Each structure stands twice: as C-alpha cells, then as structure tokens.
Amino acid sequence: MDPVKAWWKRNRPKYLARFVFFLTQGIFRTFRLKVEGESNLLDGEGGKIVSSWHGRSIIPAYHLRRRGIWALFSLSNDGELQSRFFSLLGFQMIRGSTGRGGERAAIEAIRVLRKGETLALTPDGPRGPAGVVQGGILLMAKKSGAAIIPMGASANPRWLIRSWDRYLIPRPFSRASLVFGEPIFVAEDADEAQLAEIGNRLAEAMNRLQEEAEKRVGIKPELPSGATSRSDS
C-alpha cells in the first residue's frame, strides 16, 4: 500500500472525528433545542440506559455531553471514528459489538450499570436494520437491573444522510426537539417471549417519541423502516 494511503488509513478516524466535532460545535451554537421529559432520566436510583435510534443520536449526544455517560461502539473503523467523536464530547468508552469483542463489551457495560452509571446505546446499531431493537440492550438491562430510557429527536431544517439509518444532522439555526420517555424495565427472570415483547414495547416507545419530536419542530414524522425487536441477536 502507498505510504500516504497507509498513513491516512491509520489516522483517518482521529482527524475526521476532530473535523466533525468542530463542525457540529458550530452548528449547535446556533440551534434552539427544547428538551422534554428529562426527569425520567434524572429521577430514581440505579443504572440507566438512554436509548435512541442510530440515525437520531447526534442531538441526544450533544445534550448529554460532558456528564461522564458511557457509550458503546463497535471495533470497526466506523466505530473508531464514532468513539473518538463521542470522547471529544466527554463520553466514556466501551468498545465491542455483537460481531467483535461483544462478550467482553457486554460484561463491561453490565458492570458499569450495576454501579449506577448511565450508558448510551443505539439498539439498532451499528449496522442495522434501522428501527429494529437488537437483543444486546435487553440483555444488559436484564442482567444489571438498569432502566431503559427511550428517546426521540428531530430538527428542522436538517440534513438526512443517504445511509442505512438516514442519519440526521441539524442545519444551522434549526429548531430541535429531544423527548425522553418513561423508563422500561426488564425482569431478571424474563424469558425469550417476554424479551421479545419488551423489545417491541421499546421500539414502539422510541417511534412514538420520534413522532412527537418531529411534530414539535413542524415536520411530518419519518420513522425508521423497522420498528420491531430482535431478541435473538
């Protein structure tokens, strides 16, 4: 491989993360964000898992920055870029996914949640399908006793990237909305059927909250293509 290309491949996540960070900082200084229902996150004891669809993660990430919240990202190149970006926002990192390093990452996440910390997850990530709740978030909630706090977010005007998750980036001077829902718990003895039912409830809650956020900023709701659970992932 060409030395310049090899250098860029090694260093691309670091420099792109910094570029995206400074770009979004400029955007977020101009937009107006209204937050509703945050007491669902702040009230109560024990660990919390804040949950948004992958394509709507930038607005909650900005609002929850510099709080010492944990985030989980895959060991892929895209995961490296995202982890560096979220680190610049003040999040603490756990690396791994269902594909690589998943068991170690899940054990670390459960340990963090049992200590009463907060973890940010996108249950349809890192590769989709969009709007489908993967089983990892349900397992972590089951093993840790943590509450899952669903979220919905939107902005107007905005860019929607042509990616599998239709990733949303607010435009400068946009109106934005972030809505927190009521906590969802997973019993320690929940079986596969119960996990599937809870996953469906979580997907429905996140879709409803996203619809509410869209309405708050004057946009016809656009939901992910899924909206089901996949508890066997």
For residue 167, pLDDT over 90 is answered with yes
Mean pLDDT of 125-133: 89
**123 with 149: CB under 8 angstroms?**
no
- What is the rounded average pLDDT of the residues 72-79? 83
Q: Average the pLDDT over 50-59 and give the result.
A: 96
Does the pLDDT of residue 130 top 50, yes or no?
A: yes
Q: What three-state secondary structure class fits 68?
A: coil
Whether residue 19 contacts residue 201, with contact meaning beta carbons closer than 8 Å, is answered with no
Q: What's the CA gap between 208 and 200, in Å, rounded?
A: 12
Query: Tens of pLDDT along 24-43?
Result: 999 999 999 999 999 999 99
The DSSP bridge pattern shows strands 92-95 and 147-160 to be: unpaired
pTM: 0.90
State mean pLDDT over 102-127: 92
- Residue 137 confidence class, pLDDT cut points 50, 70, 90: very high
Average pLDDT, the chain: 91
Lowest mean pLDDT segment, chosen from 46-60, 98-112, 150-164: 98-112
- pLDDT tens for 175-201 read 999 999 999 999 999 999 999 999 999
Q: 172-205 burial, b for 16+ CB within 10 Å, e for fewer?
A: eebbbbbbbbebbebeeebeeeebbebbeebbeb
- Does the structure show a pLDDT above 80 at 4? no
Residue 47 has pLDDT above 80, yes or no: yes
Q: How confident is the model at residue 232 (pLDDT cuts 50, 70, 90)?
A: very low
The model's confidence at residue 99, banded by pLDDT at 50, 70 and 90, is low
Residue 178 has what pLDDT? 98
Q: pLDDT tier at 1 (50, 70, 90 boundaries)?
A: low
* Cβ–Cβ under 8 Å, residues 60 and 159: no
